[in-house]
Amino acid sequence: MADVFADVLKKLREVQRLAGWSDEELAVLEKPKRVLKKTLRAGGKQYAALRVQYNDARGPMKGGIRFHPAVNESEVTALAFWMTLKCALAGIPYGGAKGGVAVDPKKLSAKERETVSRAYVRAFAGHLGPLIDVPAPDVGTDAQVMAWMLDEHEAISGRHEPAAFTGKPLALGGSRLREEATALGGFFVLREALKKFKAGKTVAIQGFGNVGRNAADVLHAQGYTIVAVSDTKGGIYRPQGLDIAAVGKQKDSKGTVAGFPGAKSVSSEELLELPCDVLIPAALEGQLTEENASRIKAKMVFELANGPTSPEADMILRKRGIPVVPDVLANAGGVTVSYFEWAQNLTGWYWEADEVRSRLEQVMVRAFEELYDEYKRRKGIDLRTAAYILAVNKVLEAERARGRIA
């Protein structure tokens, strides 16, 4: 199993030389503040559970909870680190965290999912809360899971605290546009990136879950041609473009996009190497590797998944002149609207969809402009390196203001 966090540390030390951080400064970002581990007991079975709280210099820690059989400490720690950078890059007042349960949610009944969800909150009670650490949905979890978790949290705390979890149903204080927030925020960034890097509008999307499907819908509605999509059961390719609404209907009825009429069948791995202007990995980590990076035909890689590109693939793509818009900005729309939800919960003042969309666009466009300026100013670096420099500098600024470092 790949040590994802080891790759994070390697990148961080590599960027240190360019950014000029001292060893004391680097030490602040090299390890999480807290790693919490528990064994959940639900339905006569046991599941390993984690919550990694990485950094809280800029505010309460923030990050999703995933239910996936491959959940492990290295992966969750890397995701918590990236959340720290993501929140800093977007300019929102959060630190970073992440959580997970090593379970296959597809093998759980609805009742078992609820039992595991509530057990997670009980396991980490005292470490979660609106001013401590605010979870949200991630891979394998959704608004219903957040509803169960919030209910359990409030039963333990004895008071209403809707701001303790985000990504909730509207009935419990969720924000409008939360479901499509990652995809919509990604669209705003992609639109600006294409102005700078002059790529076209044909798109291949690996992953057709919440993020990938919403990305296909949003981009198709904005005039982009979606030539390929895939899910865990297979993929489809049509160079002239797919009817995304029809693909979505098949996904709902058959549970997969595979076998869509009039499209060529491809695997998720083959999709990555198809000719297109923009390749969007929107599934899991580690999809672009040293092995396949030399065969990527896209003119731009846009990371809606977390950590889809290995350091070796990054280097190959950079040498080939293929820009990679990094996950820490590309998919920050989700945590940005989570921040909006949290703010609405704390104030009791709720916004209409148009206001959420307008505020999201403002945040994402500003963050991209900041990143692009840093990228241009430091000639010869890639966008990911520029993102690390910008985000870490913001975290270090907060650490200095608190007196934690000189």
Catalytic positions, please?
98
Cα distances from 186 to residues 162, 214, 216, 363, in angstroms, run: 26, 10, 11, 12
Q: Are 108 and 127 in contact (CB under 8 A)?
A: no
Backbone angles phi, psi at 96, to 5 degrees: -125, 145
Count of CB atoms situated within 10 Å of the CB of 240: 9
Tokens found for residue 320: 């080939």
- What's the CA angle centered on 261, arms 259 and 262, to 5 degrees? 120
SS3 of residue 34 by DSSP: strand
How many whole angstroms separate alpha carbon 195 and alpha carbon 340?
A: 28
Measure the CA–CA gap between 88 and 327, rounded to whole angstroms: 13
CA distance 215 to 181: 10
Contact 79, 63 (CB under 8 A): yes
Residue 393's SS3 state is helix
Q: Which amino acid is at 112?
A: E
> How far apart, in whole angstroms, are the C-alpha atoms of residue 253 and residue 10?
44
Cross-strand partners of 234: 231
Tokens 């899991």 belong to: 284
Rounded to whole angstroms, the Cα distance separating 194 from 198 reads 5
> Could you give the CA distance from residue 89 to residue 332 in angstroms, rounded to a whole number?
9
Cα separation, 400 vs 38, whole angstroms: 33
For tokens 């996009």, the residue is: 257
- Stated as kind and residue range, the H or E segment containing 192 is helix 181-197
**Integer Cα distance of 362 and 185 in angstroms:** 10
Distance of alpha carbon 23 from alpha carbon 30, whole angstroms: 10
User: What is the H or E stretch that residue 61 is in?
Assistant: strand 61-67
Nearest CA among 237, 238, 228, 226 for reference residue 202: 226
